[in-house]
Amino acid sequence: MVVGDFAEEVDTLIIGSGPGGYVAAIRAAQLGQKVTVVEKGSTGGVCLNVGCIPSKALIEAGHRYHNAKGSDDMGITAENVSLDFSKVQEWKSGIVNKLTGGVEGLLKGNKVNLVKGEAYFSDSDQVKVSSEDGYGSQTYKFKNCIIATGSRPIEIPNFKFSDRIINSTGAINLNEVPDKLVVIGGGYIGIELAGAYANLGSEVTVLEGEKRILGGFEKQMAQLVQRNLKKKGVTFETQAFAKSAEETKDGVKVTAEVKGEEKTFDADYVLVAVGRRPNSDELGLEQIGVELDEKGLIKVDKQCRTSSSNIYAIGDVIAGPPLAHKASYEGKIAAEAISGEASEIDYLGIPMVVFAEPELASVGYTEAEAKEAGYDAVASKFPFQANGRALSLNETDGFLKLVTRKEDGLVIGAQIAGQNASDMIAEAGLAIEAGMTAEDLAMTIHAHPTLGEITMETAEVALGTPIHIK
């Protein structure tokens, strides 16, 4: 228990230690600021503990298990392939612990003070931090503050989270592989986890309210994912609205309206993955004049500064997709702005990735978005099936589309559906950031045989000089 609450003074206080908060803290410390980070949960936030990292580990485990059962195309068969899901979870937890420990080490190495507790604004230049055990508190007086409190899963009516009705956190921490899993929501979280559990042996049904899944990506890209998941037994119900759930000790019955018709679905578990809500509601922002929009997102300018000039906000609590790398990018911008640098947000080069089957990735403009923005844009495509490495991997589904400006070939966007799209998109992002043209990409010598050659080949299509397709 704290005896006597005398305010501790810091240059920059950061609330939240996720991929936005801890990156902001390190960058601020590099720039000479005295930094304190307040974290009420586990170091590393949602991403490291119950989001990006553990979900990708589960996805990889699903791939390994599915592939271990053999590949008829390659003449490979296997017998008695077994799955010890408790060991999968143990392996996944080991990765999480290694990374969260690494973050704490990085903060310590940069002389950042990490405080465990819950922060609440008591004034525009100070917060009161309640200790983890609920006894006592400490006040911190700051020159500047960065809010990086992230988001939480949305709970929908009649689907209160429980042992059987779970959110993404529950889904990656199950003690068993469900025989039957219903996923409500066909966005990136729902589709990634649907794919993971389908590979692990679950019978999966996806209920999506819109006309198609993965609405943030081009239709052809989403169709590739849906087709592949169907091959693994996943059932899709679009224009489907979950109405109620009847829960028993060993299962759930979901009632949904599908294209105007009532249907029921039996499952061991129901995963609700319909989006995330910003954690901006328990900080006391209303009493210090920080403005929010109708969704609870904190309003910021191009330097992540809120309506209160010494308070900044980054990551899931501000507008834009809830992406870890977006939060990290914004964290650097905010830290640099506090230090007087002219850094500003430019989202054009931020990629969107779904770790589905195949992987999807997009950066910059799509063809339609470019034309809406007033560009005379050209879209050029190259298929994975014409690439030697894709053939040798037996992963030929997909394509790369390069969006260029017609007048000079400037690269302004790219979309990739295919194996390792999450890694390949970085080259296109660099091209956009560096102001490169299709000719620059085409003239860059790519190693053979690699998937990276697809970028070069697509650039050659844009120039009208394709080698490996007609």
Element (DSSP H or E) covering residue 372: helix 367-372
Instruction: Indicate the SS3 state at residue 211.
Output: coil
Parallel/antiparallel/unpaired status of strands 137-147 and 151-153: unpaired
Angstrom distance (rounded) from CA 309 to CA 91: 44
Q: Among 63, 66, 325, 448, which one carries the catalytic annotation?
A: 448
Angstrom distance (rounded) from CA 363 to CA 383: 18
b/e for 213-223, b at 16 or more Cβ within 10 A? bbeebbeebbe
Handedness of CA 12, 18, 23, 29 (dihedral sign): positive
Instruction: Indicate the SS3 state at residue 11.
Output: strand
Parallel/antiparallel/unpaired status of strands 8-15 and 35-39: parallel
Angstrom distance (rounded) from CA 145 to CA 97: 28
Angstrom distance (rounded) from CA 173 to CA 425: 30
- Residue 326 — φ and ψ, nearest 5°? -65, -45
Our answer to whether residue 446 is catalytic in this structure is no
Tokens of 470: 């007609």
Instruction: Indicate the SS3 state at residue 54.
Output: helix
Angstrom distance (rounded) from CA 290 to CA 145: 12
Within 10 A of 447 (CB to CB), how many other CB atoms are there? Answer: 8
The answer to whether 260 touches 180, Cβ cutoff 8 Å, is no
Angstrom distance (rounded) from CA 25 to CA 21: 6
Residues forming the active site: 448
